[in-house]
Amino acid sequence: MIELTTIIDGKALASDVEVDARERAKKLAKRGIVPGLATVLVGENPASQMYIRLKHSACSRVGIRSENVVLPPESTEIDLIARIQELNSRSDINGILLQLPLPRGLSPQRAMMTIRPEKDVDGFHPQNMGALLLGVELLVPCTPLGIIYALERLGKKLEGAEVVIVGHSNVVGKPLAAMMLNRNATVQVCHVFTGDLARHTRDAEILVVAAGVPGLIKKEMVKSGAYVFDVGINRVGDKTVGDVDFDKVSEVAAAITPVPGGVGPLTVAMLLRQTLQATENQNQNNPTD
Ligand code: NAD
C-alpha cells in the first residue's frame, strides 16, 4: 500500500485559529474590551516590514486593534526602552511585540526584559521563558507554539515521541525543546557544532529544522514516516525556500510543511492567540464580567 504524504497546510490551520480568535475578540468586545497589540520596529529592514504588515492585517481580520511604532535606525537603547515603557503603561495596549532583528548595537535581551511579562506576546521575557522551563506555559514563543498546535491538530502523540530539533536559537530551538519536554517527548537539539547531523536527524519521528540553511536536510537524513517542520526562510534567487529539500523529503515523510505556507502562517496565528490570552488575563478581575 502506498502511504500518502500529508502536506501540512499552515494557511488552512491558521484560518481555523482565526475563526476561534474572532470569537474570543467578540466576547471581549461584549465586555467593552478591545484587545490592543503594539509592534515595535527599529529601522527599515524590508523583511521585518513585511512581517509587521502580515501581523497587522491578521489582527484586523479578527478584531484586534494594532499599531506599529517605528523608530529610526539610529535609535539608542534609551530611546527604545523609553518607547517600550510608554507602551507598558498604556491600558489600551495588551500585547507588545518587538520585531527582531534589531540594528547592530541594540541588545534584544535588554529590550525584551523591559516589556512587562504580562504583555510579552512573543514569550521572550526571562520570566516567561523561566516559567516555560519549569513546565508552566504562560506566554510562549509563537513559532514553537504553532508547531505544537499543528501536531495536536494532526493527532500526533508527543508523549514518548523522538523529537529532533535542528537549531538552538532563543526564538525557536530552545523554547520548542522545553515545550516538547513539557509534553514528555524525548528531545535532541542539534546546531552548527553538531558533528554528524544525519546521525541525529535519522532518529526523528518529529523533525523540526530552524537553521536558515537552504537544502540542509536531504532525503537520506530523514526517517521514513517522520513529521517534518521546516521553519527556515531563505531567499534563493527570486524564490523563498526552507531548510529542507521539500520534493525529495516528501517522498519519505508522513507529513511535511511547505515553505512558504507552512510554519510562517502558524506563527502569525499564534500571535493572535497570545494577544487574546494576554488581554483575557489582564481583564480577569474586570467588574464587567
Ligand atoms: P538563528 O538564525 O538565530 O540560528 C540558527 C541556528 O541554526 C543556530 O542554532 C545554529 O547553530 C544552527 N545552524 C546553522 N547552520 C547549521 C548547520 N549547518 N547545521 C546545523 N545547525 C545549524 O535561528 P532562528 O532565529 O531560529 O532562525 C532560523 C531560521 O528560521 C531562519 O531562516 C529564520 O528566518 C527562520 N524563522 C522562521 C520563522 C517562521 O515563522 N517561519 C520564525 C523564526 C525564524
Question: Tens digits of per-residue pLDDT, 56-97?
Answer: 999 999 999 999 999 999 999 999 999 999 999 999 999 999
Q: From the CB of residue 134, how many other CB atoms can be counted at a distance below 10 Å?
A: 10
pLDDT at 288 over 60: no
Provide the domain limits for residue 161.
142-264
* pTM of the predicted structure, to 2 decimals: 0.97
Q: Which amino acid is at 149?
A: Y
User: Are 33 and 286 spatial neighbours (Cβ–Cβ below 8 Å)?
Assistant: yes
Q: Residue 111, by phi and psi: left (phi above 0), alpha (psi -120 to 50) or beta?
A: alpha
Given the residues 119, 120, 122, 230, select the one marked as catalytic.
122
What is the Cβ-side half-sphere exposure of residue 121, based on CA atoms within 13 angstroms? 31
User: What would the grid cell of residue 26 be?
Assistant: 467578540
Co-location of 255 and 157 in the same domain: yes
Which residue's CA lies nearest to atom 35 of ligand 1? 232
287 pLDDT exceeds 60?
Answer: no
Amino acid at 87: L
Q: Are residues 105 and 160 in the same domain?
A: no
Query: Of 55, 174, 243, 245, which residue is the catalytic one?
Result: 55
* 239 annotated active-site: no
| Beta carbon of 172 within 6 Å of any ligand 1 atom | yes
Give the domain CATH number at 163.
3.40.50.720
**What single-letter DSSP state applies at residue 120?**
B
Last residue of a domain, one of 49, 83, 117: 117
107 and 192 share one domain: no
Residue 19: per-residue pLDDT: 98
9 lies in some domain: no
Domain boundary among 101, 117, 133: 117
* Residues 177, 225: Cα–Cα separation, whole Å: 21
- Contact (Cβ atoms closer than 8 angstroms) between residue 112 and residue 125: yes
Ligand 1 centroid distance, CA of 101 (Å): 13
Residues 6 or more apart whose Cβ sits within 8 Å of residue 136: none
Q: Would residue 26 show up in a list of annotated catalytic residues for this protein?
A: no
Atom of ligand 1 nearest to the CA of 242: 32
- Sheet bearing 36-42, strands edge to edge: 65-71, 36-42, 95-98
Per-residue pLDDT tens digits for 166-210 = 999 999 999 999 999 999 999 999 999 999 999 999 999 999 999
* Per-residue pLDDT tens digits for 254-274: 999 999 999 999 999 999 999
Looking at the structure, do residues 71 and 160 belong to the same domain, yes or no?
no
Residue 177 beta carbon below 6 angstroms from any ligand 1 atom: no
Asked if 210 contacts 169 with a C-beta cutoff of 8 angstroms, the reply is yes
For the question of residue 99 being annotated catalytic, the response is yes
Contact 119, 278 (CB under 8 A): yes
236-264: average pLDDT: 97
Ligand 1: centre distance to CA 169 (Å): 7
C-alpha 81 to ligand 1 mean position (Å): 27
Cell 488581554 -> residue = 279
Maximum C-alpha span of the chain:
63
Ligand 1 centroid to Cα of residue 173, in Å, is: 8
Confidence band for 16, pLDDT divided at 50, 70 and 90: very high
**CB 166 near ligand 1, within 6 Å:** yes
Residues 148 and 106 in one domain: no
Is the CB of residue 167 below 6 angstroms from any atom belonging to ligand 1?
A: yes
Residue 110: CATH number of its domain: 3.40.50.10860
CA of 10 to the centre of ligand 1 (A): 19
- Residue 2: pLDDT band (50, 70, 90) is low
Nearest CA to ligand 1 atom 38: 231
**Residues 147 and 253 occupy one common structural domain:** yes
255 shares a domain with 167: yes
List pLDDT tens digits, range 207-235. 999 999 999 999 999 999 999 999 999 99
Query: What percent of the chain has a predicted confidence (pLDDT) above 90?
Result: 97
For 239, phi then psi, to 5°, come to -110, 150
Kindly state if the Cβ of 200 falls inside 6 Å of ligand 1.
no
Question: Which residue has the least CA distance to atom 40 on ligand 1?
Answer: 264
Structural domains of the chain, count: 2
Say if residue 201 is in the same domain as residue 150.
Answer: yes
- Same-domain pairing of 151 and 252: yes
User: What distance in angstroms lies between residue 229's CA and the mean position of ligand 1's atoms?
Assistant: 13
Assign 4 a pLDDT band (cuts: 50, 70, 90).
confident
**150 and 189, same domain (yes or no):** yes
Domain co-membership, 147 together with 98: no
Q: Is the CB of 165 under 6 A from ligand 1?
A: no
